[in-house]
Amino acid sequence: MNPLELARSVQDFVVEYRRDIHMHPELPFQEFRTTDRICEELDKMGISYRRMEPTGVLAEIKGKGPGKTVLLRGDIDALPVKEETGLDFASVNEGCMHSCGHDTHNAMLMGAVKCINQIKDEFDGTVKFIFQPAEETGQGAKAMIKGGCLEGVDYMFGTHISSMLDLGKVATAPGPTYASAFWFKIKIKGVSSHGADPLHGRDAAVAGSAVVMALQDMVAREYDPTQPMVVTVGDIHAPGRFNIIPGEYRMEGTIRTFSREINATLEDTLNRIAKGVAGAYRCEAEVTLDEVAEVCENDPDAFEIGKAAIEKVCPGGFELAKPTMGGEDFAYYTPHVKACFFGLGAKMPDAEGKVHPMHSGYVLFDEKAFEYGVALYIQVAMDALKA
């Protein structure tokens, strides 16, 4: 059994399947066509599966005898991004794009299903495959866990393609690798008035702007400076007109850390800062905070299995990943099972030689990387079954 040769035997299928999925992206928990397509391919192979609610699929292949159970995961949702790549297979759904590469995860996992189905008489145990929806909202993994996907699982592995990592490289590390991600919303309520008569208003925009600045002090003065932390306000809106004192100011943002201890204090800290600062301007503040992803921690044993598999599939291709402040809902699996998550290199410059990041409408991925992704899924599953 040579995983790379198996992967190359299905490369044409993986590319074709990925391009079809790429053309028809769907937002979180709206991946109905995508789920239908997954089921269609599994039906062709006679693979046992369960369609999840409302979207997503859990499939499994049993080997020749009893043994461990390994779960492989790929996510399937897209983003509300306008595609600007100019590809022949660009999105036909206006304003929706697979700009985070989940179409490639879906395709590589399906390629792994095809290959592992071919060798099911060569191993003991069970390999499960989860085509997970709604990663971008942080809700998909929770739904799959609630649906029982982790029952009886000994090891779990997942892959995320990277437009910034060189082809043939795979990055991972033991311990925390992806930060927790929180989504906060703050509404400042003031009193609207004429722009020429601010005395009779309470300027929500001035108060809100002060809150934006004060939030940065969470990093500088509220918490341990040796602990990585990012506070970003990414969206602000004060409805009104050029000559009106706005009576309302809304902002949304994200907080990223690697500390569960810090995370437990965030709601109180946000409320204290927002309400205190707004109050100084005679305004009021309402705060909501939602967790999008926990800290993603790779299990040491699963990491060692993964590292060995990488070296077999991509000799010399292993890179020790640096922790990233990006969030990943694979994190929700890691407290329950020995798991490891990989970053797969697929750097692909555009016609002008520019390399674009994920979540960009211009991002490209080198399809040659699919062979390594499929082979890694196969190799790590076979190695974990024997661990």
Assign residue 151 the CATH number of its domain: 3.40.630.10
Among 266, 293, 320, the domain boundary falls at 293
Q: Residue 185: give its domain's CATH number.
A: 3.30.70.360
216 and 141 in a common domain = no
Shared domain for 42 and 147, answered yes or no, is yes
Same domain as 235, residue 369: no
Total structural domains within the chain: 2
Is 336 in the same domain as 262? no
Domain identity same for 344 and 369? yes
Query: SS3 for the chain, per residue?
Result: CCHHHHHHHCHHHHHHHHHHHHHCCCCCCCCHHHHHHHHHHHHHHCCEEEECCCCCEEEEEECCEEEEEEEEEEECCCECCCCCCCCCCCCCCCCCECCCCHHHHHHHHHHHHHHHHHCHHHCEEEEEEEEECCCCCCCHHHHHHHCCCCCCCCEEEEEEEECCCCCCCEEECCEEEECEEEEEEEEEECECEECCCHHHCECHHHHHHHHHHHHCHHHHHHCCCCCCEEEEEEEEECCCCCCEECCEEEEEEEEEECCHHHHCCHHHHHHHHHHHHHHHCCCEEEEEEEEEECCEEECHHHHHHHHHHHHHHCCCCEEECCCECCCCHHHHCCCCCEEEEEEEECCCCCCCCCCCCCCCCCCCCCCCHHHHHHHHHHHHHHHHHCC
Query: Side-chain half-sphere of 211: how many Cα atoms within 13 Å?
Result: 38
Q: Which domain holds residue 7?
A: 3-175+295-385
pLDDT at 178 (0 to 100) = 95
The span from the CA of 230 to the CA of 242, in Å, is 33
Q: How many CB atoms lie within 10 A of CB 340?
A: 29
For residues 364 and 350, the answer to whether their CB atoms sit within 8 Å is yes
Residue 84: exposed, middle, or buried by beta-carbon count in 10 A (0-12, 13-18, 19+)?
Answer: middle
Going from the first residue of the chain to its last (387 residues), give the mean pLDDT of each consecutive group of 10, the final group possibly shorter: 95 98 98 98 98 97 97 98 97 97 98 98 98 95 96 98 97 96 97 94 96 95 93 93 95 96 96 98 97 94 98 96 93 97 97 96 98 98 97
pLDDT value of position 1: 76
Question: Packing angle between helix 369-385 and helix 300-313, nearest 10 degrees?
Answer: 130
Does residue 15 sit in the same domain as residue 117? yes
Do 98 and 228 belong to one domain? no
Q: Is the same domain home to 164 and 233? A: no
Whether residue 364 sits in one domain with residue 332: yes
Q: Do 147 and 32 belong together in one domain?
A: yes
Residue that finishes a domain, picked among 293, 316, 347:
293
Residue 303 sits in the same domain as residue 324? yes
* Same domain (yes/no): 199, 337: no
Of 269, 293, 317, the residue that ends a domain is 293
